[in-house]
Chains A and B, each alone.
Chain A
Amino acid sequence: MFRIFLGMDVLPALIVIVALVALATVLGFTLRARNTRVASGCGGDEHHLTVAGAEVTLVQLSSPVCSACVAMRRVATELVASDSTVAHREIDVVDEPDVARRHSVYSTPTTLVLDREGHVRSRLIGAVKPADVRAAVDAARTLAVVTA
C-alpha cells in the first residue's frame, strides 16, 4: 500500500479528489443560490392574508418536516419582535394551494411580503438572511405600488 502511495499513480488520484471537492463546492453554492433568494412579487390581491393594522405582513408558506421553515420562522419572529409595524403569519401550503399557485411557490418556506393593501411586493424563498428580510420589508413600505 505504501509502495502504491509513493508511486506515480497517486497524482491522478489526487487530481480526481481535488476535482471532486471542487465539484461539490460549486454544487453547494448553486443549490444555496437557488434555494435561498429574494424574488419579485407579482402584485395580486391577497388582502385576506394581511394582518389588520400591520404595515407589512410576512406570510410564510410552510410545510411539515422542513427545517428551513423553522429557521425562517425564527428570523421573522425576531423581526416582528423588534418592529411592531410588521406582522408574521405562517400557513401550511396544503391549506392555501391557490395562494401557492398564484405566486409560483415551488418550495417551502416561501414567504410573501404583503404591503398594507395586500399586494405581494416580493417573495422570500428559503431561509433568507435577516438583513435581506428587512430590506424586502422596507421596500414594501415605500409608496410605489405594483397593481396586477
Chain B
Amino acid sequence: MSAAKTGANETPEKPFGIDPRGPRFGASITAVLLLVVVLLGLTEPLGSDLVARALQPAALLLTVLVALFAWGAFAGIQKHPYGLLYRALVAPRLAPPAEREDPAPPTFAQLVGLLVTATGLVLHLIGVPGALVIAASAAFIAAFLNAVFAYCLGCQLYVLLVRAGIIRRSAARA
C-alpha cells in the first residue's frame, strides 16, 4: 500500500478491457425490444395451448431476446452481435473511450438477463398468466438503468458475488 499505486496493478487497463459504452449501446436496443414485448404481451390474451402461446408475437420476440442474452452470457459480451454492431458502426464515430472496463461483469449481467427472460418465457409457455410481462418488465428496468444511467445491476451483483467469494474473479486482470 505504498504511495500512489494509481493505475499500476488495479483494474485492467489498456490491452485488457472493453469500451464501457458498448454494453450500454446493446442495453438500449434490448430495452426498446423488451418494452415492445411488454406492449405485445399486454394487448394479447394468453394463448390456449402450448403451440399457440409459443407463436404469440410477444413470446416470439422474447425468444429472440433470450437467445441474444444466451449469446452474450456464453460467448462473452465482446462477441455479442450488438457489440459487433457497436464496434463496426458506432465506435468509429465516437472519441476513444476515456476508460475501459473488465468484460466479466457485463458478461455476467447477460447471464442474469438470460435467467430472468428465460424464466418468464418458460412460465408463459406453461401457461402462467402475466409471467411474460412481469419478466420482460423486470429485464426492461435493468436494461434501461444500464442504457440511460450507466447503472448495471447484473454487474453490481457480480461484484457482490466476487466479494462474497461465490464467484472466483477471472484471471483476466493479471
Shortest distance between the CB of B49 and any CB in chain A (Å): 19
B32-84 interface with A by 8 A CB criterion: 35, 38-39, 42-44, 57
- Cα of A12 to Cα of B5 in the assembled complex, Å: 55
Interchain Cβ contacts under 8 Å between A and B, 10 examples:
A13-B39, A17-B38, A24-B144, A24-B145, A28-B145, A32-B149, A69-B10, A70-B99, A70-B100, A90-B4
- Cα of A90 to Cα of B13 in the assembled complex, Å: 15
- Residues of chain A within 8 A (CB-CB) of B39 are 13-14, 17
Q: Are B137 and A51 in contact (CB under 8 A)?
A: no
- Residues of chain B within 8 A (CB-CB) of A69 are 10-11
Q: B: which residues have CB within 8 A of A? A: 1, 3-7, 10-11, 13, 20, 35, 38-39, 42-44, 57, 98-102, 104-105, 137, 140-141, 144-145, 148-149, 151, 155, 158-159, 162-163, 169, 173
- Cα of A14 to Cα of B35 in the assembled complex, Å: 10
Q: How many residues of A contact B (CB 8 A)?
A: 43
Q: A: which residues have CB within 8 A of B? A: 1, 4-5, 7, 9-10, 12-14, 16-17, 20-21, 23-25, 27-29, 31-32, 35, 51, 62-67, 69-71, 73-74, 77, 87-92, 95-96
Q: Are B151 and A67 in contact (CB under 8 A)?
A: no
Q: Are B173 and A65 in contact (CB under 8 A)?
A: yes
Which of chain B's residues has its CB closest to A69's CB?
B11
- Residues of chain A within 8 A (CB-CB) of B140 are 20, 24
20 further contact pairs, Cβ within 8 A, besides A1-B44, A20-B38: A4-B43, A13-B38, A14-B39, A20-B141, A27-B145, A31-B145, A64-B169, A65-B102, A65-B158, A65-B162, A66-B11, A69-B11, A70-B11, A73-B6, A73-B10, A74-B99, A77-B6, A88-B4, A88-B6, A89-B4
